[in-house]
Amino acid sequence: MSHIDSDIKTPVIDARLASRLVAKQFPRWRDLPVEPVVPGGRNNRTFRFGNELMIRLPNGAGYADQVDKEQRWLPSMRTAVPVSIPEPVAMGQPGCDYPWRWSVYRWIEGETADVGPVDSVESLAIELASFLAALRRFDPNGGPLPGAHNFRRGGRLDFYSDQTRQAIKRLDGVIDPECATNLWDRAISSAWTADPVWVHGDVSPFNLLVRDGKLAAVIDFGLCTIGDPACDLVIAWTFFDGTAREAFRKHVGLDELTWDRARGWAFWKAAITASGMVEDRVGPEAALEVIAAILNEQNR
């Protein structure tokens, strides 16, 4: 959680608040038209200012420290990766009864990959794999370690063992519990033993922007960390399939044990969603489809 008191009441975050904050702290932008970005993310509310800027306001104390992290690392990270990532322009301070820091970024044109037209999903998979490989090569010195700030993405998967085994019990009769348990045991039997590398932490179609049918940007680095890159491979089952999944696997360049852990990350999130332990925007039916894809692959 943030060092800021997590009991602070979350204010109403709307275009009026966004306009007041900008007018008070960055008066040169006060006359720009403002509109909410829809969808604008779950952990932050996003607003577009004019044609070139956007602001992101954390909607809870648990996400407030992510502002500092993105401001610190994204400027230098931008030069190391082959597609656009958010470019911080300024950092706002608490004010107007809003209790946390917030960010101003350059606007990036595009649609999220879950709705935007894509020329070739297989080509998109290769472009994303190249991005992740480049991200892993970015100097990790001084980077943030996994922890509560990013829900331990990039850390040891077995942190979620109790929760996962509970979900398997809840899904008994819906999925094969023995097969699921075997998959989980295999996933947690290894760990990343190389030096830590940069991890995005939330690679999903909602955080990929496409433009002209191709990958234009990777956004939302709030969960980024240095550690085990296995969690960044979950999209292999949540968005890719068939030849696209194979292309992603081939070009991302990681070993079999990392893919075992990746299946574990994908299964954990899908299982707790399908079992009703958490709510997720993909929904329980889509989560069951992810589980089926993972277990079918495991059984081959």
The half-sphere exposure of 178 on its side-chain side, counting CA atoms within 13 A, is 1
Tell me the CATH number for domain 112-299.
3.90.1200.10
7 pLDDT band, cuts 50/70/90, is low
Q: Where in the chain is the domain with CATH 3.30.200.20?
A: 15-108
Give the rounded percent of residues in the chain with a pLDDT score beyond 70. Answer: 96
Give the burial class of 242: count Cβ atoms within 10 A of its Cβ; 0-12 exposed, 13-18 middle, 19 or more buried: exposed
The 10s digit of each residue's pLDDT in 142-155 is 999 999 889 999 99
pLDDT value of residue 298:
77
Flag whether the pTM goes above 0.75.
yes
pLDDT value of residue 85:
98
pLDDT value of residue 5:
45
Q: Where in the chain is the domain with CATH 3.90.1200.10?
A: 112-299
Task: Please state which CATH class domain 15-108 belongs to.
Answer: alpha beta
In the chain, which residue ranges form alpha helices assigned H by DSSP? Answer: 15-25, 65-77, 121-137, 161-170, 177-187, 235-238, 242-252, 256-274, 283-299
Question: Is residue 299 pLDDT above 60, yes or no?
Answer: yes
| CA 190 and chain centroid, separation | 23
Q: Which residue has the higher pLDDT, 181 or 64?
A: 181
Contact 34, 18 (CB under 8 A): yes
Question: Is residue 6 pLDDT above 60, yes or no?
Answer: no
The 10s digit of each residue's pLDDT in 84-134 is 999 999 999 999 999 999 999 999 999 999 999 999 999 999 999 999 999
* Whole-angstrom distance, CA of residue 161 vs CA of residue 268: 9
